[in-house]
């Protein structure tokens, strides 16, 4: 698994969500870095969606890495040898569940 290359912290939308909103990485109430400003298109659902999508990027990356970890383990699983569905294998299940929960958390944010 590769090291995290982006700014740590919780990425969040500052101010109104939409055009002109700023995405910042925060640790609690402390702003660690300003990541991006959403310029458009106007105060629309689309610009709000753009803001939320950028802010969810770190969690998306984490969910993808969880799925990659599951995929790597499942292929060489000592119990199912990659032949069962990961959700039905006792050794693969915790990784599958972790990945699924992370995916659902991201989808709930965007």
Residues of this chain that bind Zn ion (CB under 5 A):
77, 79-80, 89, 91-92
Q: Helices 57-75 and 93-109 sit at what angle, rounded to 10 degrees?
A: 160
Nearer to Zn ion, 27 or 81 (CB): 81
Q: How far is the CB of 76 from Zn ion (least distance, A)?
A: 9
Query: In this structure, are residues 46 and 39 in contact, taking their beta carbons and an 8 Å threshold?
Result: no
| Number of other CB atoms surrounding residue 35 within 10 Å | 19
Token output for 35: 């990541």
| Residue 69 CB, nearest approach to Zn ion (Å) | 13
Judged by beta carbon, residue 38 or residue 77, the one nearer Zn ion is: 77
Q: Rank residues 26 and 69 by Cβ distance to Zn ion and give the closer one.
A: 69
Closest distance of CB 77 from Zn ion, Å: 3
**Helices H / strands E in the chain, number of each:** 3, 3
């Amino acid at each position: 698994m590769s090291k995290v290359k982006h700014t740590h912290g919780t990425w969040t939308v500052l101010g109104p969500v939409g055009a002109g909103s700023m995405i910042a990485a925060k640790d609690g109430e402390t702003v660690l870095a300003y990541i991006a400003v959403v310029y458009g298109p106007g105060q629309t659902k689309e610009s709000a969606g753009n803001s939320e999508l950028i802010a969810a990027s770190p969690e998306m990356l984490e969910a993808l890495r969880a799925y990659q970890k599951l995929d790597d383990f499942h292929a060489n699983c000592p119990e199912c040898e990659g032949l069962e569905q990961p959700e039905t294998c006792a050794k693969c299940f915790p990784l599958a569940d972790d990945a699924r929960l992370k995916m659902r958390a991201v989808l709930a944010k965007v």
